[in-house]
Chains A and B, each alone.
Chain A
Amino acid sequence: MKDGRSTCSEVVPRSIAVGAVLALGVVVAAWSDPVSLELGPTGLWVDRASLLVVLLVTGVGATVTSFARRSLRGEPYRDRFFVLAAVVTAASAVLATAATITLLTGAWLVVSAGVVGLIGLTGTPEARAAARRARRALAVGDVALVAATALVLATWGDVSLRGPLVVEGPGPLVLVGLLIVVAAATRSAQVPAHGWLIGTVWAPTPVSALLHAGVVNAGGIVTIRLWGLVGATAVVTHLLLLIGTLTLVVGTLQARARSDVKGSLAASTVAQMGFMTLAVAVGAHAGALLHLVAHGMFKASLFLGSGSAVSTARRARQHPRSDARPSGPWRIAAVAVPVAMVGAVMLFEASQGVLAADLLLAAVLGAAAVAVAVSGLHRTSAAGPRAAVMVGAGSIGGAYLLLAHAVDAALGSALPAPATTAPGLAWLGMVAVAAGITAAVVRGVGGQRVRSAQAVLYGAVVVPRLTEGPCLAPVRPVPVSGTDAAAPGPVARPDALVEASVARTSIQPLGAPS
């Protein structure tokens, strides 16, 4: 125990790191042919898609635990963190590779228990309350998944997840699909079960990194792995689409309304998970997988580096953006150039057979490229650098789209094909409208009426609900004081004071029956 070190802190990061290296080794082996590991009636099934997830889980696990060796030094719960982190990491890896639905559900339940333990780690009253809240939310999902598994076992037996799941024969598909959606929605913090995720900010930084990078993805992973059950009915896929879109909107609004570092990161996870669900719903499975892995690494690094916010803000204050409004042609170019470049790549891919994933990804890549190009306009007035930023942003967007397409193709065989029940292209319209409304709200566009609607929305989305006490009308007649003008200090006659306020607001006077 010298120097505050302990066995756990020595062993856990190393074993997870070894796991990550092993996973990397298996990549080479499993890339051409999936590897199957039989363990009695069940086992593990490693293919290209699950490997990607295992790499994420072990990579983040190893980084976070190594980080925690230093950042949690001296904390009384340090050993418990390492044990729980190891359990959650291992169970998440099993979840991604389980060869049967029973093992998958078992791993899911272990992760749930671990998450609740991690959130309540510090033992402060706030952390314990957040853990209770998470337990309630996750328990709903646990029950739903166990019920779905029971139904599946009763109908089709312990279905094999070696390769894309296919069930044959009749069964309660709608019910099972709905139950799985409920489970996935709670774990991936989808509206209306998104409230528990903000509570993770009460936990230490490494816990937040682990949860936001690894655990919340399980909803998407399970939906993809059980797509044979979820995607079989149109009701379920459309529900998934609706949930995803709503979550994307609410998460984006909450993230834009917060500026505390960890709070906005947590809210933005909600939005990203909504995007992932949306992609799954429209059958862009490879796109969803790619997104959750990249977002996991992104979010882990931002959480771990959240302490640098003060120096970043200091730097930003030293280098404010210029207020000068760039001229019209420049503004048009900043939108047109990146959009044209990303669009061209998308059209090229469309000629190869368009996928929903390409549309979704192209849209957000275009938006990001435009944002960067516009930021360039505010940094410099020189034509060369401005053009370079535009072309650079467009090229990165286009190149990434090509890369994603290649990964799509590589993962194709390991993932279920988009179901015929997937929502048609009409969904694009719905998502676009939702995005437009969100943008309008955030930018504060609109007249007086819209602004008062924004106040309503702001209260509902951002401010915690306040339970009112009884009877809020003016509570009782204020005794008229007998003070005279010579009373010491600043003393007013309360009746006059109250009258003044009543006159302004035309509300019933004090003492009137309420």
Chain B
Amino acid sequence: MTATTTDEARDRTPTGPAFLDPAGVVSAVFEAARPVTATWPLDTFVATNPLAWLEDRHFAEALDEAGRIFGPGRVAATPAEVLDLRDGGDRASRIDEQVATWCRLVIDDHATWGAPERDKGLWTAWRTVTGADRRLTDEGRGLARRLSADPAEAVAVLLAEAGVGADLAPARLRGHLTALPGWTALIRAGHRTRPGVDLVSYAAVRLAVERLLLGTRLLDVDPDLGRLDLDVDPDRRRAPIVDLAELEAAEATYRDGLLGALAHPVPSRGVAESVTPSPGGRPAPAATRRPVQLLCCIDVRSEGLRRHVEGLGGWETFGVAGFFGLAIRLQRCGEEVATDRSPVIVTPAVDAREVLDGEPVPDLRPAADDAFHVAKEGVAAPLALAEVAGWGAGAVAAWRTFRPGGRAGGARRRRTASHLELPASTLADRVDLAHGLLRTVGLTHGFARTVIVCGHGSDTRNNPFAAGLTCGACGGHPGGDNARLAAALLGDPEVRAGLAERGIEIPADTWFVAAEHDTASDEVVLLDVDRDVDPVDHEDRLAAVEAVLAAAGAALRAERAIDLPDGRRRGTARREDRRRRRRGRDWAEVLPEWGLAGNAAMVIGPRSTTAGVDLHRRVFLHSYAAEQDPEGAVLGAIFGGPLVVAHWISSQYLFSTLAPETFGAGTKATHNVVGDFGVLSGPSGDLRRGLPLQSVSVAGHRGHQPLRLLAVVEAPLARIDACLAANPQVAALVDGDWMALAARPGAGSPWSRRVAAGWEAWS
């Protein structure tokens, strides 16, 4: 509701406020929830910018606005908060407690004894139970009964009775919908929720509980809450979310250092010997054919792997969003429901399925899970279950604690050989997919004999945030399946023929192999190699490739151990390495790996831009060959997709670090998983958003350095300008200082910084 509308309403209704009608309530509620960025359930953990709704404003302004709405500096925005501030008391938290309880009881529908009428949603369930609550007075029960069954009507009546006119309703509703941002965010996102679990029902419950708890005291505050004089309590006003000057100083230090290093690369062993930079940035083909090429995700953790295999094996590496351009809905064998293997902003266009090559091995685990679950959810059965299962459970718990590191999971768990198919796609579709992938990466000539397509996952245990450590581009799943499909497509002779027609000639002896990088242990597993025996010398090739991957993994583990708490102990190198490999599989470990912590920049350009520079696993690397993309179509796609995602990840880490209690999920020590979608920090309260404390900082350790993203692009400046013009969202991010953009047209040129007026020299 804009100021103009409000003024008009006042002008035309001099005798009293006009009130919202139910239809008006619906739109006002949705508008009021805008400050809360929708969140995804935990099992498809998706990075989002908690301040996404303010991205059209300048960063500093957005911080101020967010600080007024969320966190310790929140300006009292509901009558209960105003009364608490004025008279003391905990009314606001008591209302929140009730509402949060109702959200937990109705939205999480796994309880055997569900709330009566929970199938009809939040509002109906609340009315039914409250209307029958013998602990309330007749008046209290009467309130629940007299309110309409339609939540929008109930909201309209409750607002009207509180004297909140149409002009003040937006602010009042915003106060309510931002009080428990976690639940609002989940309801707003609408994942796996049912009819009646919507923002309007939620608002109705909030207003009714408020009414029940405050009674006529609701009228002790002015309808406009007296916002002019009752601003935030000076005692509660804290330092702003971030000290901008400090942030900018830290950014300047990092960015100047990075760009300086990229301007004068220090050639490292291995890479230097084999790289012959060409004007386009890619090493000259043909001259020396690389033994192996490796396609990785743009994830910052891939940088470590790439640096080590380049150094140790002289491989050439590329970076691309880890779903390899294959937005698929994958039906895996033995699973009932297909899962989306694509960034959540992309709706999968292609159905894929896994086909077993042999007989399926029966998996007894779901049946055992089920028997356990049924016995646990019974009435008398749990009493016996605890006793019969207790002895074994105790022994297993002790074993897991004192001898951490069980069997490997994830990609190494696969027992029967299988392959992936695209059942509904034509040859032309498949050629399109393969062509798109190679074009995006810029790998259109100079193919090595072995090309590895490497996704990534993270094998961790007892970790509600496990999906946050896997591949975000694969929808919170490990990227191995997308890699398998990509390798299969590129190995398909028909697809290769189609590619050749479009000018991409893949030599007959080039072998595409899929792999998965476990970022918790830095072990890389080659996938499907036992079934695809195409090249005659494949065993020799495999041995060579696996040796390099093993050595690179060990080096990367040792490098990462320096930053990890308890990463280094006194012990033989062999024992230490074993301990590091098993770290993720320790059920007591709250910090299996640092994930994307430390991320600070994204480089869009050929690997020669960064080759030989140790980027300390802090930089997203997206391959881009400017000379192969004269129209800028590829660059535009990178701006609109991977760059925006990198900005979201960077923002999530930034705000989870700066305000761990407000925008982060708080410590894992007290997390209580609710349903399959979130965590609470106790038995009740708000659903937590963002990253857990252990993902961004641990006392006495490095953790995440809060910085905004620096995008570094190697492409003609005019082409970048054109891409920005075509992507207003990205342009707004750069102009609003949400991220910085540095560019140079080619290897020899100095860096320029994108500012509102155009380009200026980076100094």
Contacts and interface: CB of A to CB of B under 8 A. Distances in A.
B253 interface: no
A307 B129 contact: no
Contacts of A492: 18-22, 24, 156
Contact of B384 (A127, A397, A476, A498): A397
Contacts of B464: 307, 309-310
Given A126-B682, A295-B390, A478-B163, A459 B466 contact: no
B24 A266 contact: no
Contacts of B337: 317-318, 320
Contacts, number: 473
Contacts of A507: 142, 145-146
B355 interface: no
Given A4-B700, A510-B161, A66 B9 contact: no
Nearest to A502: B146
Contact of B42 (A124, A310, A488): A310
Given A291-B387, A300-B394, A469-B217, A491 B19 contact: yes
A363 interface: yes
Interface stretch (A96-104, A375-383, A419-427): A375-383
For the complex, would chain A's binding face be called helix, strand, loop or mixed by DSSP majority? helix
Looking at A203, A260, A458, which has the most chain B CB atoms within 10 Å of its CB?
A: A260
Contacts of B215: 468-472, 475
Contacts of B137: 468, 472
Contact of B590 (A73, A298, A488): A73
Interface stretch (A148-156, A232-240, A346-354, A366-374): A366-374
Contact of A472 (B211, B378, B672): B211
Nearest to A2: B700
A455 B129 contact: yes
B276 interface: no
A474 B161 contact: yes
A371 B676 contact: no
B438 interface: no
Contacts of A463: 98, 101-102, 105, 129, 133
Contact of B672 (A74, A201, A469): A201
A300 B397 contact: yes
A277 interface: no
Contact of A263 (B147, B565, B672): B672
Interface string B132-148: 11111101101101111
Interface stretch (B227-235, B344-352, B364-372, B608-616): B364-372
Given A205-B669, A261-B672, A297-B390, A491 B43 contact: no
Given A271-B383, A475-B216, A260 B104 contact: yes
Given A307-B462, A498-B157, A472 B139 contact: yes
B218 interface: yes
Interface stretch (B446-454, B581-589, B732-740): B581-589
Interface in B124-175: 128-137, 139-140, 142-143, 145-148, 153, 156-157, 160-163, 165-166
Interface stretch (B112-120, B516-524, B709-717): B112-120
Interface stretch (A163-171, A180-188, A251-259): A251-259
A325 interface: no
Nearest to A299: B386
A402 interface: no
A70 B684 CA distance: 25
B121 to A, nearest CB: 15
A272 B383 contact: yes
Contact of A74 (B18, B217, B370, B565): B565
A34 interface: no
B20 A490 contact: yes
A313 B676 contact: yes
B217 to A, nearest CB: 5
B382 interface: yes
A70 B566 CA distance: 9
B219 interface: yes
A490 B591 CA distance: 52
Nearest to B140: A468
A487 B11 CA distance: 10
A464 B129 CA distance: 12
A441 B379 CA distance: 10
Interface string B208-232: 0101111111110000000000000
Nearest to A471: B216
A135 B560 CA distance: 45
Contacts of A505: 145-148
Nearest to B666: A124
A455 B128 contact: yes
A489 B156 contact: no
Nearest to B395: A297
A368 B401 contact: no
A246 to B, nearest CB: 15
30 contacts: A66-B588, A74-B698, A74-B701, A205-B669, A257-B112, A260-B680, A294-B389, A294-B390, A297-B391, A300-B397, A304-B587, A307-B668, A307-B673, A309-B673, A310-B466, A314-B43, A319-B334, A361-B387, A365-B384, A368-B380, A439-B380, A455-B132, A460-B134, A466-B209, A468-B137, A468-B212, A478-B163, A490-B23, A497-B160, A507-B146
Interface of B: 1, 5, 8-9, 12-24, 27, 42-43, 94, 97-98, 101-102, 104-105, 108-116, 128-137, 139-140, 142-143, 145-148, 153, 156-157, 160-163, 165-166, 209, 211-219, 334-337, 365-367, 369-371, 373-391, 393-398, 401-402, 461-464, 466-467, 565-568, 586-591, 667-676, 680-685, 694, 697-701
Given A74-B701, A198-B683, A491-B18, 15 more contacts: A74-B694, A126-B685, A256-B112, A260-B104, A261-B673, A271-B383, A296-B394, A313-B675, A369-B384, A452-B132, A478-B161, A479-B163, A483-B12, A497-B156, A498-B161
- Sorted nearest first, the 3 A-B pairs with minimum C-beta distance are A469-B215, A297-B394, A490-B24
